[in-house]
Amino acid sequence: MPISWRRGIYYSNDVIEKYNTIIQKFCREKSIPFLELKDILGIKDLDDGLHPNSQGHAKIFRKVKQFLIDEKIV
């Protein structure tokens, strides 16, 4: 996704993928529930290609809410 205020620069998910993998592994080893959110938002859910808009936040809310219910956390 191009950065709107800087031509020729793009957001990359490579670093996010690395951190996600590390956190997911840690959670699995410690038996901590892990919620995958990386694929839930589409381009229409982001204001600037990075930050969720109200529609994106609503999708995240519904996913987190259901996860907390399913895991009997709330």
Query: pTM for the complete prediction?
Result: 0.75
Write down the pLDDT at residue 54: 97
pLDDT at 6: 67
C-alpha closest to that of 42 among 52, 28, 30: 52
Q: Which element (helix H / strand E) includes 57?
A: helix 54-70
Q: Which residues of the chain have pLDDT under 50?
A: none
